[in-house]
Amino acid sequence: MEQKKRLIHRLRHKYRLVIMNDATFEEKASLTLTKLNVFMLISSVLVLFFGLSFYLLGYTALREYLPGQIGKDQSHLLLELSYKIDSLEKANLANENMLQNNMRILQDRPDTGMSGGGEDSIPGQVILDPSVEELALREKMGNRRDFSLEAGRSQTGNVLFAPFFTPVSGIVSAPFDPLVDHLATDIVAGEDQTVKSVLEGSVILASWTPETGHVIAIQHANNLLSIYKHNSVLLKKVGNFVDAGEAIAMVGNSGELSTGPHLHFELWHNGIALNAEEYMVFK
C-alpha cells in the first residue's frame, strides 16, 4: 500500500516547464506538468492518430493504395474481364476441337467415333447410313443424273445440300472407297486446269505437305468441308471468302503420293466423309 501511494505521489508530482529569453532570462511562458498529465496527453495523441489513420485507410479512396485492396471500379473491371476470359477459353476450346478434327480429315485419319465402333469395323472405314428421306429420293430418282448446264452447277445429290459446282472436269481414276481407306475421289484432268470451289465458303487451309503437295480446304455452311489436294499452285489464302464456282487452284502433280496430274477431292459433312460422285458429275 505504501509503494502504491509513493507511485501515485510521483505521478502527481508537479514540474514546471519554463520558456525564457536566452539573452535577458526573461520568463516568457510557463507550464505546470505532471508525469500523469504527460502520459495522458501522449496516449490521447496516439489514439487520435491511429483512429484517424484507420478511418482514412478504411473508408476513403486511400484504401486503394494498400496492398491487396481494390476499388469498386477496379472490382467491376476485374469481374468483367473474368467473364470475357471465360468466354474466350470456351471459344478457344471449340476452335481447337474443330482444328483437330479438320487436321484428322486432311491427314486421312477420320475420328474413330465415325466408324461405328463395332468389333468387325475396318480401320478407317466410314459408315454412311442414308436417312429415310435420302432412300426415298434415291428410289424416286433411280439412276437418273439430271444436272443443269447453267454455270456448271451439278443438280444430283442430297436435297439437304445446295447444288454443287463441279471442282474440275475429267475422268474419275480412283472412286470413293472406304473399304480401302480411300475417302476421296481422284479426277484425272489436264495440268494447270482450273480448280473451282464447289460452294461458297471460307478458306481454312492453304498449305503444302510432302505427301499431298499444295492443299487447300474450304469450310462451307451446314458443316460441309471440301478439300483439294495435289495442286500445282494455290490461288487463295487462309481467311479468303470464295464464291461457288470461283477459281481457287490449278490442277497439278505435287506431292509424293501423286502419280500424275489429277485432283484429289474430298467432301466431308459433320466429320463424315461423303462420296462426291453422289452429289456432282465430273465428266
Query: Does residue 80 fall inside a structural domain?
Result: no
Residue 142 pLDDT? 54
Question: Looking at the structure, do residues 142 and 259 belong to the same domain, yes or no?
Answer: yes
- Considering the domain architecture, whether residues 59 and 166 belong to the same structural domain is answered as no
| Residue 231: strand pairing partners | 214, 251
Q: Is residue 89 part of a domain?
A: no
| Residue at 85 is within a domain | no
What is the pLDDT, as a whole number, of residue 154? 45
The C-alpha cell that represents 257 in the structure block: 503420293
Q: Give the count of domains, the chain.
A: 2
For residues 36 and 152, membership in a common domain is answered with no
Indicate the DSSP class of residue 9.
Answer: H
Task: Report the alpha-carbon distance of residue 7 to residue 23 in Å, rounded.
Answer: 39
| Domain range enclosing 267 | 132-278
Look-up of cell digits 445446295: 162
Domain boundary among 65, 90, 119: 65
Q: Which residues of the chain have pLDDT under 70?
A: 61-75, 104-161
Is 35 within a domain? yes
Q: Is 203 helix (H, G, I), strand (E, B) or coil?
A: strand
Same domain, 140 and 262: yes
Q: Are residues 46 and 137 in the same domain?
A: no
262 in a structural domain: yes
Judge whether 74 lies within some domain: no
In a domain, 161, yes or no: yes
Quick one: pLDDT at residue 117? 41
Which three cell numbers mark 179? 473399304
Domain presence at residue 268 = yes
Measured distance CA(266)–CA(277) in Å, rounded: 11
Q: Report d(CA 169, CA 188) in Å as an integer.
A: 8
Which pLDDT value is given to residue 71?
60
Q: Which of 43, 65, 87 is the last residue of a domain?
A: 65
Quickly count: other Cβ atoms within 10 Å of residue 106's Cβ.
20
User: Are 139 and 59 within one domain?
Assistant: no
The answer to whether residues 150 and 257 belong to one domain is yes
Residue 176 in grid coordinates: 470413293
Q: Which of 107, 278, 118, 252 is nearest to 181 (CA)?
A: 107
Q: How far apart are CA 263 and CA 118, in angstroms?
A: 33
- Residue 237 is part of a domain; what is its CATH number? 2.70.70.10
Quick one: pLDDT at residue 276? 92
User: Is there a single domain that holds both residue 137 and residue 243?
Assistant: yes
- Regarding whether 147 and 273 lie in a shared domain, the answer is yes
